[in-house]
Amino acid sequence: MAQRSAHQVINTYSSSFGLATALLSPAIKSDIRNLYAMVRIADEIVDGSARQAGVRDEDIATLLDNYERAVIAAPASRFHVDPVLHAYAGTARRCGIRTDDVRAFFRSMRTDLSHNEHSDNSLDDYIYGSAEVIGVMCVDIFLAGRQVTPDLREQMDIGARSLGAAFQKINFLRDYAEDTQELGRVYFPACAVEGLTDGTKKQIVADIRDDLTRARTAIPLLPLGARMGVLAATKLFENLTDKVDSRSAAALHRRRIRISAPHKMWITAQAIGEALWMSLFG
């Protein structure tokens, strides 16, 4: 029941990641979805659901603090009344998810409660905690029960951090209208004065493409059970980057950019073919 509850979270919130995780091996798929469920709930605390439920702004920070303590303590207990925490705790124990990485993630979530704009340094710190360490946790899951050299692990971590950073930046662009108009947040420092312009968008997209290129170099290093799913997620976000790149900045001010369901299925099928080719021919 706990596993199914955690899996339902990803199916509800992200069809793209839901498709990508379907291509993972069964054990990896289950643990990735358990991790996603915990992360998603923390994100919902700071991104409006708590306020919509009537929680006062001054109490949201307390909610987040309490949830962080529960998540950090979860692996030490074999039973939880919260099914998502129960599922996550098993994953954290099996895969060796590190407390420091969890704390870094919650630091970034806490930033959303107090910072509406970022400097270059604070944005780097935010992306590290909100996305890059999630990539590192995913590598923990991919390698559970496996031994790799420190050099190989470092290469995988670099790729995972780059992919997480790319995902976060493209989501900032596609969610620009909601973030600025509903949440009052401006993540990119270059947008703080004039808003998102075509020139700024071009620079950000180029940065995202660099991250994706760096991430792709690590995909062949991943275990076979993880490779196809990671490649599918990468290709989905590459396509999303292309769509954002083809739109004007003014269009991003108005609405969120999406990929249609049939197109997602086509991209996923392409990822399966590319992953098989990669496995056969390197």
H or E segment at 37? Answer: helix 26-46
Report the candidate in 42, 29, 41, 39 with the shortest Cα–Cα distance to residue 3. 29
Q: Which residues contact 203 (CB under 8 A, 6 or more apart)?
A: 190
Residue 273 pLDDT: 83
Tokens of 32: 């990735």
- For the chain, helix (H) and strand (E) counts, in that order, are 15, 0
In the chain, the number of structural domains is 1
Going 92 to 96 to 102 to 103, the CA torsion angle's sign is positive
CB atoms within 10 A of CB 152: 13
Going 194 to 199 to 203 to 208, the CA torsion angle's sign is positive
CA distance readout (Å), 93 to 25, 30, 79, 86: 19, 14, 13, 11
- What CATH number corresponds to the domain at position 186? 1.10.600.10
Say if residues 84 and 38 touch (Cβ distance below 8 Å): yes
Residue 186: φ, ψ to 5°: -130, 105
The Cβ-side half-sphere exposure at 37, using a 13 Å CA radius, reads: 26
pLDDT by residue for the chain (282 residues), tens only, comes to: 998 998 898 888 877 777 788 889 999 999 999 999 999 999 999 887 788 888 887 899 999 999 999 999 999 999 999 999 999 999 999 999 999 999 999 999 999 888 888 999 999 999 999 999 999 999 999 999 999 999 999 999 999 999 999 999 999 999 898 888 888 889 999 998 889 999 999 999 999 999 999 999 999 999 989 999 999 999 999 999 999 999 999 989 888 888 888 888 888 888 888 877 776 665
- Which residues are paired to 186 by β-bridges? 117
3-state helix, strand, coil in the chain (%, to 5): 80, 0, 20
Full-model pTM: 0.92
SS3 assignment, position 182: coil
Q: 16 is in which domain, residue-wise?
A: 2-281
**Residue 116 CA, distance from chain mean position:** 20
Residue with the two structure tokens 């407390």: 99
Q: Which residues contact 81 (CB under 8 A, 6 or more apart)?
A: none
Residue 266 pLDDT: 87
Going 77 to 68 to 9 to 35, the CA torsion angle's sign is negative
Residue 184: φ, ψ to 5°: 70, 30
Residue 146 pLDDT: 94
Tokens of 99: 């407390």
Residue 281 pLDDT: 63
- CA–CA separation, 231 and 246 (whole Å): 23
- CA–CA separation, 46 and 111 (whole Å): 9
